[in-house]
Chains A and B, each alone.
Chain A
Amino acid sequence: MKNLTKILIALMLVGLICSVYAGGKQEQAAEVTGKLVLATNNAPEGKSMAKALDEFGKLRGIKVEVVEAPYSNLFEKEVLDLSKGTGLYDIILLDDPWFTQFAENDWLTELTPYFQAKQESGLSADFIDKSQAICRYPYARGLLYAVPAVGNAQMFFYRKDLFEKYGLARAPANWDEAFAIMKKIAESEDNVHGYVLRGQQGNPVVAQFMPVFWSFNGKMFNEDKSKVQIDTPEALNALNFFLKLKSISPPGAESFNAQQLATHMLMGTAASTINWPAFVPTFEDPKQSKIVGKIAYAPIPSDFAVGSSEIGHWLAAIPASSKNKELAFEFVHWATSAEKQKELALKWGNPPTRKSVFQDPELLAMAEFRHYPVLLQAISNSTPRPRIANWNEVENSFGIYLSKAVAGTMTPKEALAAAQVDVEKLMKKAGYIK
């Protein structure tokens, strides 16, 4: 019995010493390198960042952790962490429309000092100007709070073969020209619709309407956001044309989201659409697509103004509450370098944000990157969603009235007038309108 007690005590002592030693070692390691936690979305572009972080961890011999969440869930997680300053994450990937809200509340770390510590003045001029602009608060002119990680902007997808058949051997320059051909296709081809419209209430219908709105020279707000410009002749023109696009779209467009657009294009039952470049690989994949080699990509057609697509970048930022900012910045800097962006494009199809990668000869020689010149042009010409902190609310409200117009329960004039009133209320509540 006594012996047993002795053995137990000895074992406990050994355990204690081991754990102290291990703990000390761990602490030492933490001082030198630390641990990085990344919050990212669980779609391809988010996952590629997670892969990059794994690699970074191995390179530097540090611990890394990735918190993956679906799109809307990621927003909730980030808002909760940032607003409470818990410092759970060291790096976050955020969708650019969230940026204004995050930056306005001082939830993000200003990055210029970190660039300066590396003897750089700030973001490299290699990043596309429009991609840089959305990382600053206020827009384009203010301080830098993020680095553009994944480049994205809508493109005009069209069936080259059909457009050629009906008399247009190039990308349509303006909406009139495009619509004339689309209408001819719809009337003459069996089972092919001229266009396929993304009409689901909320974010989908708004994202689809904005490029049309902009090419009809509409702007939702004036420069300092003190005036709502929804109930305007420009918006009415745009909405009327939007409904013309709906008239040549497949039935059911009122509830289509991006996936249904892609399905119609893949089946060859629609001649054109506006969608995100994420679908390009699917369109070019013979296993899934009936339109391989028949589809072409173009910037958004112009009208009263030069056509402009909605920009939709994923930005990498460092929360103000992160406990490991230097190291987090090291990662962001490394992961958005030209070499790394090229590698992520090759490996995971991640659209870059640097001009040099878009123009890289090796990438351009590959079929899957043949849309890069167009995408570069689309991003360079893109327009961001209005830089307001309450965009989620405004988008929701505008989306309801657009949906009413598309579903035909309100005339375009009525819908715009009602949206004007509601959005004005929201802008007053948020303090933009005094």
Chain B
Amino acid sequence: MKQINLARWTERNLKYLLLVPTVVLLLGLTVYPLIYAVIASLHTINIRTGEQSFVGLKNFIAIATDKQFWNALKNTAIYTGVGVTLEFFFGLGLAVFLSNRLVGRNVFRALLLTPMMLPPIVVAVIFKIIYIPDFGIINWLLGLVGIKGIIWEASVKTALPSLILVDIWEWTPFMFLILLAGLQAIPLDPYEAAMVDGATQFQMFRHITIPLLIPAILIALLLRLMDTLRIFDQVFIMTGGGPANATETMSLYIYRHGFRFSNIGYATAMSFIMLVLTVMISNFFINRLKAEEVFTQ
């Protein structure tokens, strides 16, 4: 009798039992650190001094008045905003161009993907050499057309744009890849119908391609935004946040406090703010995606 009950219970609850390992993993690796982060952000924790005391919202108040924090936030916003926007337009252009039947199309596609295959550190080191004003290749090429004396990542004015340029070089291929996949998933019938109706190329692009490409666009933008918000490697290698703090980003600033100065509480509080910002931005895209009904189809 008992055995039958157990068997029945197991059968009824099998779906929950099978979920247990996943839930445990998720709790351990995601939920626990998140709760710990919230608690840590309300404390002063310093590994160096061994200090550990509850301070309430003091960390957040200190952050609000921390000029360097705001500077880092501003730089990150510019970096992400400009970088991702340009990557999107270049990526879209390339995807549309290379979805046409061209000679050597596959070679082009493969070549285009190489930048994103390189580790960001390698890219940073290479660009550091390329950017050397005296004998870097870019200035040499620009010199041929009469443009001289740009000092790239070493000048306060051009430092951030120079880093954004590196990001665009490395990550446009990623945009291109997702958008190309999106383009090839669009069925041909609407185009045929449009042609019968006498639509122009531009009209077809505007009223068929773009609307049908929206899910791919949203996913590409979402992934790139989340990734770019935590930009670290290139800045760390190429400028160290300088000159004159012109390229200090959030991740770099958090890293300094967390790992170099051992201010774990302060660093966690800043990470928490970053997390909230990232979630807010992602939610906007995820809601749009849901509205597009790609998930519910």
Contacts and interface: CB of A to CB of B under 8 A. Distances in A.
B134 to A, nearest CB: 5
Interface in B110-167: 128-129, 131-135, 149, 151-156, 159
A251 interface: yes
Interface string B256-276: 100111100000000000000
B104 interface: no
Interface stretch (B87-95, B205-213, B233-241): B233-241
B251 to A, nearest CB: 14
B245 A252 contact: no
Given A201-B245, A260-B132, A251 B149 contact: yes
Q: Majority SS of interface residues in chain A?
A: helix
Contacts of B153: 252, 255
Given A76-B259, A263-B132, A269-B134, A254 B48 contact: no
Contacts of A409: 156, 243-244
A282 B156 CA distance: 32
Nearest to A251: B133
Contacts of B256: 396
A250 interface: yes
Nearest to B256: A396
A202 B241 contact: yes
A351 to B, nearest CB: 25
Contacts of A406: 243
B55 interface: no
B239 A201 contact: yes
A255 B154 contact: yes
Q: Could you say which of B153, B245, B256 has the most chain A C-beta atoms within 10 Å of its C-beta?
A: B245
Interface residues of B, number: 33
B21 interface: no
A252 B154 contact: yes
**A-side interface size class:** 35 or more
Contacts of A403: 242-245
A375 interface: no
A224 B152 CA distance: 43
A251 B154 CA distance: 8
Given A201-B244, A254-B242, 18 more contacts: A75-B259, A79-B47, A105-B48, A201-B239, A201-B245, A250-B133, A250-B134, A251-B134, A253-B154, A257-B240, A260-B128, A393-B260, A400-B242, A403-B244, A407-B156, A407-B242, A407-B246, A430-B49
